[in-house]
Amino acid sequence: MRNSLYIFFLISIFIFSCSKKEEVIPPDLGYDYAGLEVGRYIIYDVDSFYYDDFTDTIDTSYFKIKEVVDSKFTDLEGDEAFKIIRYRKENDTTAWELIDVWNSKITTTNFQKVEENVRFVKLIFPVKKNKTWNGNSMNNLASMEYKYTVIDNAEVIGGNTLNSVLTVLQYEFSPLIEENFFQEKYAKGVGMVYKKSVEIKNVYDSSSFVWERSLGYDVTMTLSSYGN
Protein backbone atom coordinates (compact mmCIF):
# COMPACT_ATOMS: atom_id res chain seq x y z
CA MET A 1 0.00 0.00 0.00
CA ARG A 2 2.80 2.40 0.91
CA ASN A 3 4.59 1.61 -2.35
CA SER A 4 1.42 2.34 -4.32
CA LEU A 5 0.96 5.68 -2.57
CA TYR A 6 4.61 6.56 -3.18
CA ILE A 7 4.35 5.74 -6.88
CA PHE A 8 1.11 7.75 -7.14
CA PHE A 9 2.85 10.68 -5.42
CA LEU A 10 5.77 10.58 -7.86
CA ILE A 11 3.44 10.40 -10.87
CA SER A 12 1.43 13.36 -9.56
CA ILE A 13 4.60 15.44 -9.13
CA PHE A 14 5.73 14.53 -12.66
CA ILE A 15 2.36 15.48 -14.22
CA PHE A 16 2.26 18.74 -12.27
CA SER A 17 5.81 19.69 -13.26
CA CYS A 18 5.06 18.98 -16.92
CA SER A 19 1.93 21.11 -16.79
CA LYS A 20 3.96 24.00 -15.36
CA LYS A 21 6.45 23.96 -18.20
CA GLU A 22 6.03 26.97 -20.42
CA GLU A 23 5.20 26.44 -24.05
CA VAL A 24 8.31 26.84 -26.21
CA ILE A 25 7.74 29.77 -28.60
CA PRO A 26 9.98 29.81 -31.67
CA PRO A 27 11.99 33.01 -32.12
CA ASP A 28 10.67 35.67 -34.50
CA LEU A 29 13.24 35.68 -37.30
CA GLY A 30 11.46 38.44 -39.23
CA TYR A 31 9.92 36.48 -42.12
CA ASP A 32 6.68 38.46 -41.82
CA TYR A 33 8.44 41.65 -42.94
CA ALA A 34 8.40 40.31 -46.51
CA GLY A 35 4.59 40.41 -46.64
CA LEU A 36 4.33 37.39 -48.92
CA GLU A 37 0.78 36.03 -48.86
CA VAL A 38 -1.33 35.15 -51.87
CA GLY A 39 -4.01 37.79 -52.40
CA ARG A 40 -2.16 40.55 -50.58
CA TYR A 41 -1.76 43.86 -52.39
CA ILE A 42 0.04 47.15 -51.76
CA ILE A 43 -0.59 50.48 -53.48
CA TYR A 44 2.15 53.11 -53.58
CA ASP A 45 2.13 56.82 -54.34
CA VAL A 46 5.14 57.52 -56.53
CA ASP A 47 6.82 60.90 -56.90
CA SER A 48 9.55 61.10 -59.53
CA PHE A 49 11.93 63.80 -60.71
CA TYR A 50 14.18 63.30 -63.74
CA TYR A 51 16.91 65.86 -64.39
CA ASP A 52 18.41 66.38 -67.87
CA ASP A 53 20.97 69.13 -68.34
CA PHE A 54 21.20 68.36 -72.08
CA THR A 55 17.63 69.57 -72.59
CA ASP A 56 17.72 71.76 -69.48
CA THR A 57 14.52 70.18 -68.16
CA ILE A 58 13.15 68.62 -64.98
CA ASP A 59 10.51 66.01 -65.68
CA THR A 60 8.17 65.73 -62.68
CA SER A 61 5.50 63.07 -62.47
CA TYR A 62 3.13 61.52 -59.96
CA PHE A 63 1.46 58.14 -60.38
CA LYS A 64 0.42 55.01 -58.49
CA ILE A 65 1.89 51.51 -58.47
CA LYS A 66 0.01 48.44 -57.25
CA GLU A 67 1.76 45.16 -56.46
CA VAL A 68 -0.37 42.03 -56.04
CA VAL A 69 0.87 38.70 -54.70
CA ASP A 70 -0.93 36.68 -57.36
CA SER A 71 -0.03 33.02 -56.81
CA LYS A 72 2.54 30.46 -55.72
CA PHE A 73 4.76 28.39 -57.98
CA THR A 74 7.84 26.18 -57.79
CA ASP A 75 10.93 27.96 -59.13
CA LEU A 76 13.92 26.47 -60.95
CA GLU A 77 15.65 25.76 -57.62
CA GLY A 78 12.66 23.72 -56.50
CA ASP A 79 11.64 26.34 -53.92
CA GLU A 80 8.20 27.78 -53.27
CA ALA A 81 8.02 31.24 -54.84
CA PHE A 82 5.37 33.91 -55.38
CA LYS A 83 4.32 35.68 -58.59
CA ILE A 84 4.02 39.44 -58.15
CA ILE A 85 1.88 41.31 -60.67
CA ARG A 86 2.49 45.05 -60.92
CA TYR A 87 0.12 47.70 -62.23
CA ARG A 88 0.35 51.43 -62.81
CA LYS A 89 -2.15 54.23 -63.18
CA GLU A 90 -1.59 57.93 -63.67
CA ASN A 91 -4.34 59.22 -61.37
CA ASP A 92 -7.46 58.20 -59.49
CA THR A 93 -9.68 58.47 -62.56
CA THR A 94 -7.67 56.20 -64.87
CA ALA A 95 -7.63 52.40 -64.97
CA TRP A 96 -4.84 50.14 -63.75
CA GLU A 97 -2.50 48.97 -66.52
CA LEU A 98 -0.30 45.88 -66.26
CA ILE A 99 3.41 46.82 -66.40
CA ASP A 100 5.44 43.95 -64.92
CA VAL A 101 5.41 40.41 -63.59
CA TRP A 102 8.05 39.92 -60.89
CA ASN A 103 8.59 37.17 -58.36
CA SER A 104 9.76 36.76 -54.77
CA LYS A 105 10.61 34.02 -52.32
CA ILE A 106 11.67 33.47 -48.73
CA THR A 107 14.35 31.00 -47.74
CA THR A 108 15.44 30.17 -44.21
CA THR A 109 18.11 32.88 -44.43
CA ASN A 110 16.81 35.61 -46.76
CA PHE A 111 14.06 37.31 -48.74
CA GLN A 112 14.74 37.55 -52.47
CA LYS A 113 12.94 39.63 -55.08
CA VAL A 114 13.42 39.49 -58.84
CA GLU A 115 12.92 42.92 -60.40
CA GLU A 116 13.25 43.27 -64.20
CA ASN A 117 14.97 39.85 -64.25
CA VAL A 118 17.54 40.93 -61.64
CA ARG A 119 17.53 39.06 -58.32
CA PHE A 120 18.16 41.09 -55.17
CA VAL A 121 18.57 39.89 -51.59
CA LYS A 122 16.25 42.39 -49.95
CA LEU A 123 16.30 41.09 -46.36
CA ILE A 124 18.28 38.54 -44.36
CA PHE A 125 17.17 36.56 -41.34
CA PRO A 126 17.18 36.79 -38.44
CA VAL A 127 16.57 40.53 -38.54
CA LYS A 128 19.06 42.33 -36.35
CA LYS A 129 20.05 46.00 -36.12
CA ASN A 130 23.36 46.90 -37.82
CA LYS A 131 23.53 43.54 -39.59
CA THR A 132 24.97 43.84 -43.11
CA TRP A 133 24.94 41.76 -46.32
CA ASN A 134 25.57 42.05 -50.04
CA GLY A 135 22.24 42.82 -51.69
CA ASN A 136 23.71 41.95 -55.10
CA SER A 137 25.13 38.57 -54.09
CA MET A 138 22.71 36.79 -56.45
CA ASN A 139 23.19 38.95 -59.54
CA ASN A 140 26.06 40.28 -61.69
CA LEU A 141 25.98 43.85 -60.38
CA ALA A 142 28.72 45.35 -58.26
CA SER A 143 28.67 44.43 -54.58
CA MET A 144 26.41 46.67 -52.51
CA GLU A 145 26.36 46.48 -48.72
CA TYR A 146 22.87 46.62 -47.27
CA LYS A 147 22.40 47.37 -43.57
CA TYR A 148 19.59 47.27 -41.02
CA THR A 149 19.67 50.73 -39.47
CA VAL A 150 16.33 50.59 -37.63
CA ILE A 151 14.17 47.62 -36.61
CA ASP A 152 10.75 47.21 -34.95
CA ASN A 153 10.04 50.94 -35.08
CA ALA A 154 6.51 52.41 -34.97
CA GLU A 155 5.97 54.81 -37.88
CA VAL A 156 3.23 56.60 -39.77
CA ILE A 157 3.85 56.21 -43.50
CA GLY A 158 1.44 57.62 -46.06
CA GLY A 159 -1.12 58.12 -43.33
CA ASN A 160 -0.89 54.47 -42.27
CA THR A 161 0.02 53.69 -38.65
CA LEU A 162 2.49 50.80 -38.64
CA ASN A 163 3.61 49.20 -35.39
CA SER A 164 6.77 47.45 -36.55
CA VAL A 165 8.92 48.91 -39.33
CA LEU A 166 12.52 48.18 -40.25
CA THR A 167 14.81 50.31 -42.41
CA VAL A 168 17.37 48.97 -44.88
CA LEU A 169 20.04 51.42 -46.01
CA GLN A 170 21.18 50.04 -49.34
CA TYR A 171 23.65 52.71 -50.36
CA GLU A 172 24.62 56.25 -49.44
CA PHE A 173 27.40 58.31 -51.01
CA SER A 174 27.03 62.03 -51.64
CA PRO A 175 30.12 64.06 -52.51
CA LEU A 176 29.54 67.47 -54.07
CA ILE A 177 29.60 66.22 -57.65
CA GLU A 178 26.91 63.57 -57.15
CA GLU A 179 24.10 62.31 -54.93
CA ASN A 180 23.47 58.61 -54.31
CA PHE A 181 20.96 57.34 -51.79
CA PHE A 182 18.97 54.10 -51.77
CA GLN A 183 16.74 53.05 -48.88
CA GLU A 184 13.78 50.74 -48.30
CA LYS A 185 11.43 50.24 -45.35
CA TYR A 186 9.39 47.15 -44.53
CA ALA A 187 6.48 46.67 -42.12
CA LYS A 188 5.51 43.39 -40.48
CA GLY A 189 2.52 41.80 -42.16
CA VAL A 190 2.64 44.31 -45.02
CA GLY A 191 5.93 44.20 -46.94
CA MET A 192 7.79 47.14 -48.44
CA VAL A 193 6.15 50.40 -47.36
CA TYR A 194 8.69 52.99 -48.52
CA LYS A 195 11.46 53.24 -51.12
CA LYS A 196 13.79 56.13 -51.91
CA SER A 197 16.10 56.04 -54.93
CA VAL A 198 18.37 58.97 -55.75
CA GLU A 199 21.15 58.98 -58.36
CA ILE A 200 22.07 62.46 -59.56
CA LYS A 201 25.09 64.21 -61.05
CA ASN A 202 25.72 67.80 -59.99
CA VAL A 203 27.42 70.71 -61.76
CA TYR A 204 28.82 73.88 -60.28
CA ASP A 205 27.15 77.12 -61.32
CA SER A 206 29.88 79.75 -61.16
CA SER A 207 27.38 82.58 -61.51
CA SER A 208 25.41 81.60 -58.40
CA PHE A 209 28.26 79.80 -56.63
CA VAL A 210 26.14 76.71 -55.92
CA TRP A 211 26.05 73.08 -56.99
CA GLU A 212 22.98 72.31 -59.11
CA ARG A 213 21.36 69.02 -60.02
CA SER A 214 22.04 68.31 -63.67
CA LEU A 215 21.40 64.69 -64.63
CA GLY A 216 19.70 61.76 -62.92
CA TYR A 217 16.61 60.85 -60.95
CA ASP A 218 14.95 61.11 -57.54
CA VAL A 219 12.08 58.65 -57.06
CA THR A 220 10.07 58.04 -53.88
CA MET A 221 7.51 55.26 -53.37
CA THR A 222 5.28 55.69 -50.32
CA LEU A 223 2.66 53.29 -49.02
CA SER A 224 -0.86 54.49 -49.83
CA SER A 225 -2.98 51.46 -48.88
CA TYR A 226 -2.80 47.69 -48.53
CA GLY A 227 -5.03 44.70 -47.94
CA ASN A 228 -6.09 41.25 -49.10
- pTM for the whole structure: 0.85
Q: Are 34 and 123 in contact (CB under 8 A)?
A: yes
Alpha carbon distance, N-terminus to C-terminus of the chain = 64
Q: Which residues of the chain register pLDDT less than 70?
A: 1-26, 54, 206, 209, 211
Q: Are 164 and 152 in contact (CB under 8 A)?
A: yes
pLDDT digits (tens, 9 = 90+) for 204-224: 776 776 767 788 999 999 999
Give, in words, the CATH class of 28-227: mainly beta
Residue-averaged pLDDT of the chain: 89
Domain ranges of the chain: 28-227
Report the alpha-carbon distance of residue 107 to residue 34 in Å, rounded. 11
pLDDT value at position 52? 85
pLDDT value at position 212? 73
